[in-house]
Amino acid sequence: VIKKYAKPRKTEIIYSTEIEETTVEEEIPDYPVNLFFKKEGYFKKITMQSLRGSDVQMLKDGDSLFLQYDGNNVEELIFFSDKAQAYKARVSDFDTTKASQLGDYIPAKLGFDEGERVIFMKNLTKYDENAHMVFAFENGKCSRVPITSYQTKANRRKLVGAYADASPIIAAMYLENNEHIVLVSDANKAMTIKSELIPVKATRTSQGITVMTLKGKQKLAYAALAADFKYEDPMKYRKIKIPSSGSLLSEFDIKKAQIKLDD
């Protein structure tokens, strides 16, 4: 009996440095959603179909709707906190919910530091080179930072030094173009300026420049896009140069400003 043996196979040593690692990314379904953020920190992702059934938002006592955007499930979310930090997530990280539910509490969901709260949220399909964040501070200064400064290659959730922390933050605003912004002091003075008057700083922690001059212990109390604050006589508060002390609010506008400050 003649036994035939298979020829031994040639073996090679493969070093770990020669092995190419491949990452299989899970395909995220893309569909339109409505995004809601409330002042107390609750976030909701609701489908269009669900909203057609019921659009009455559930709110805790004392809470109110702060921001609302049309978006898509594949978009990125960036949340700015009152501690000069930014937290990033994806819309797909959140379950779809209904208007009758509270939603996700962002400080807990994204691991905020104790006592830290959200002051602004924005959904982004891309980091537009022409878009900026404007930050308004209690000392009357404002800074304008390109939104691209918050783009990261690595999947980082937390960004420290999201803006300057030398003075308490009053408001954060996302601007796609040169838009008008409103500033109101606690001395009942207001001004409206074009955002292009605020120079762009590539450094996120830039303290910005003085936009509204304040006397003594006066403070900036409110800032927003002009589209969110309608004056009785808009031209009265328009300023073409900064810094400026603003113009005294009319009685009508004082009442309106007080409503804004109390919201």
Q: Hey, which residues does 223 pair with through a beta bridge?
A: 183
Tokens coding 29: 């379904």
The alpha carbon torsion through 67, 71, 76, 78 (nearest 10 deg) reads: -10
Cα three-residue angle 21-77-127, rounded to 5 degrees:
80
Q: pLDDT class for 103, splitting at 50, 70, 90?
A: very high
- Give the residue, 135 or 60, on which the prediction is more confident: 135
Task: Count other Cβ atoms within 10 Å, centred on residue 130.
Answer: 11
Q: pLDDT class for 14, splitting at 50, 70, 90?
A: low
219-240 residue pLDDT tens: 999 999 998 888 888 889 999 9
Is it the case that residue 167 has pLDDT exceeding 80?
yes
The alpha carbon torsion through 187, 193, 199, 201 (nearest 10 deg) reads: 70
175-189 residue pLDDT tens: 998 999 999 999 999
Is it the case that residue 155 has pLDDT exceeding 70?
yes
Q: pLDDT class for 15, splitting at 50, 70, 90?
A: low
Q: What is the DSSP letter of 18?
A: G
Number of separate helices (H) and strands (E) present in the chain = 3, 16
Is it the case that residue 154 has pLDDT exceeding 70?
yes
- Entry pTM: 0.86
Q: Is the peptide bond before 243 cis (omega within 30 degrees of 0)?
A: yes
Is it the case that residue 34 has pLDDT exceeding 70?
yes
Share of the chain above pLDDT 90, in %: 68
Q: pLDDT class for 156, splitting at 50, 70, 90?
A: confident
Q: Tell me, what's the pLDDT at 230?
A: 81
Gyration radius from the chain CA atoms:
25
DSSP 243-254: SB--EEPPHHHH
Q: Hey, which residues does 124 pair with through a beta bridge?
A: 76
